[in-house]
């Protein structure tokens, strides 16, 4: 699933450095409201994380998607860019930073659920994280009552306040396979963007979302 994520022609600046908010790049393809660049800081939707928004040469980018192996910036109007021309891009940083913090919080919730309830209780899909909340469905054999959810929330916030370094690295044998980890917990496959330390996440609040089906629970995370 992750392996086809970073194998295209566009150099994804956000993979090496999630803090790049402005950049210059060359146009490689321009087609009405779709624009492709030789490099970009815009994260294309994937792995449960929404695509970035922002501006390129003053034109709104309303979403970023992977399409036909390309990273495509979706513009709010048809625009003609000259191939080879240099443009300036700027992502909506406040929005992205919230997404990064919530995405890391989502991994920590998974650590805590494994710690408290065992490895059988695991995500049933990659979930969805935007700038408002993360929602992830877990397989649950037992009931997720309010007290248990509160204990999970307390432990998650304790880890966040522990100011752990968030490690991001590629598989040695497969550079396109990326991992997320805080020591001493196990590495998790993830191609998303993340802050440098858990402390940057700040305090989070957990609540139960709409029940996604029998034997499953949805956990929603918001920034406090
Ligand atoms: Zn992730």
Please give the model's pTM, rounded to 2 decimal places.
0.93
Ligand 1 centroid distance, CA of 167 (Å): 12
Distance 86 CA to ligand 1 centre (A): 32
Question: Looking at 1-5, 32-36, 134-138, which range is the least confident one?
Answer: 1-5
Specify the pLDDT at position 9: 74
**Model confidence band, residue 54 (pLDDT cutoffs 50, 70, 90):** very high
Q: What is the 53 CA–ligand 1 centroid distance (Å)? A: 19
How many angstroms separate the alpha carbon of residue 39 from the centre of ligand 1? 22
From the CA of 151, how far away is ligand 1's center (Å)? 22
Predicted confidence (pLDDT) per residue in 107-126, tens digit: 999 999 999 998 889 999 88
CA-to-CA dists, residue 76 to 28, 42, 60, 70, 73, angstroms: 19, 15, 6, 19, 10
Measure 185 CA to ligand 1 centroid, in angstroms: 14
Q: How far is the CA of 188 from the centre of ligand 1 (A)?
A: 8
Q: What is the pLDDT of residue 7?
A: 41
Query: For residues 104 and 165, is the Cβ–Cβ distance under 8 A?
Result: no
How far, in Å, from the CA of 85 to the mean position of ligand 1?
A: 34
Q: Is 27 helix (H, G, I), strand (E, B) or coil?
A: strand
- For residues 99 and 129, the answer to whether their CB atoms sit within 8 Å is yes
Between the CA of 154 and the centroid of ligand 1 the distance, in Å, is 21
Q: Tell me how far the alpha carbon of residue 30 lies from the centroid of ligand 1, in angstroms.
A: 31
Tens of pLDDT, residue by residue over 137-174, are 999 887 889 999 999 999 999 999 999 999 999 999 99
CA 92–ligand 1 middle distance (angstroms): 20
How far, in Å, from the CA of 107 to the mean position of ligand 1? 6
CA 78 / ligand 1 centre spacing (Å): 33
């Amino acid at each position: 699933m992750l392996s086809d994520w970073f194998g295209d022609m566009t150099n994804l600046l956000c993979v090496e450095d999630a803090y790049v908010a402005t950049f210059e790049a060359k146009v490689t393809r321009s087609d009405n409201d779709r624009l492709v660049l030789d490099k970009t800081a815009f994260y294309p939707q994937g792995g449960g994380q929404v695509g970035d928004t922002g501006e390129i040469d003053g034109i709104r980018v309303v979403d970023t998607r992977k399409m036909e192996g390309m990273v495509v910036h979706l513009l709010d109007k048809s625009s003609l860019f000259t191939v080879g021309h240099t443009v300036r891009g700027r992502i909506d940083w406040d929005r992205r930073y919230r997404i990064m913090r919530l995405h890391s919080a989502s991994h920590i919730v998974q650590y805590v659920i494994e710690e408290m309830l065992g490895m059988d209780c695991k995500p049933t899909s990659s979930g969805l994280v935007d700038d408002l909340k993360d929602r992830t469905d877990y397989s649950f054999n037992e009931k997720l009552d309010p007290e248990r959810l509160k204990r999970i929330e307390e432990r998650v916030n304790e880890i966040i306040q522990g100011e752990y370094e968030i490690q991001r690295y590629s598989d040695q044998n497969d550079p396109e396979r990326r991992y997320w980890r805080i020591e001493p917990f196990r590495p998790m496959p993830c191609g998303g963007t993340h802050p440098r330390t858990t402390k940057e996440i700040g305090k989070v609040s957990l609540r139960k979302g709409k029940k996604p089906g029998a034997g499953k629970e949805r956990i929603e995370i918001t920034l406090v």
